[in-house]
Amino acid sequence: MHGFLNIDKPAGMTSHDVVARVRRLLRQKRVGHAGTLDPAATGVLVVALGQATRLVEYVQDETRKRYQAMVRLGVTTTTDDAEGEPLDTAPVPRLDQEQLEAALTRFRGAIQQVPPMYSALHHQGQRLYELARAGQTVDLPARSVHVYELHLRELSLPNVVLEIECGKGTYVRSIARDLGAALGCGAHLAALRRTAVGTFGIAQALTLEQLEQAAAAGLAGVQLLPPETAVSDWPQITLDEQQTAYVRNGRPIALNLIGPRACAYGTSGALLALLEPIEQLWKPIKVFDWT
């Protein structure tokens, strides 16, 4: 079984929990996910099966993610979300939409962001959340991230609902924390729902209960999205028999293509390989066997 599942992760489960559940339901050994969601968060979790796990990096690293976030003003927490212990409280100013919009401006585009201390990032070989749980703090450097869209969807103080589209490495918890700091009252992320990962949207997502029903009816395979969904925006080319044989054996071939990479389809019509140019040839960097 090879392909992707678009799962609507429920609150209270880790991303690893979802992978383990899918593995048991579908009786598959090779299962992984394309980007962690915090346990309290809900929404799109892209799960890969079989050979599709070799395409996870392109979903995780190269797609934009979209979120709906509720930010609660006036309270900061140890984790920058509702799972942590309260740190400080402050009165929330009487803000109108215009003032909020002005504050949000600094969080759009290419920005510098300090990740939360409670995160899975590594510092000197240890995950930050392990250090945080041990009572240690680290002076974390800011990182460059990109926020493509940031919209105010609802203002009901002390709560602010935002819609965010961002790139790899962006922490919505950090946006919530920093927005509170900019407004002078502190804030934390009260709720988070991921509504899209690239072309994987929440409208098409399956609940685990729906997947369980499909598996019981022997229809789980119908829910699988094809592996090439991960690279659907790459240039595509169909190879002839000789080219297919060469690429299957890892040999570079001459192609009339322009660009940094391409998807090659074999004579069977299935995705055969991912290609990158090397000098005047195209070399397979990943070759797939769907049998």
- Structure letter (DSSP) for residue 100: H
Strand pairing of 236-238 and 262-265? parallel
Active site residue 38: yes
Residues sharing a CB contact under 8 Å with residue 56, sequence separation 6 or more, in sequence order: 32, 33, 34, 46, 48, 230
Q: How far apart are CA 40 and CA 278, in angstroms?
A: 45
- Which one is catalytic: 8, 38, 80, 81? 38
CA distances 240 to 51, 128, 270, Å, are: 23, 50, 13
Strand pairing of 42-49 and 187-197? parallel
- 3-class SS shares of the chain: helix, strand, coil, % to 5: 30, 35, 35
The two three-digit tokens of residue 67, written as one number? 């979120």
Instruction: List residues with catalytic annotation.
Output: 38
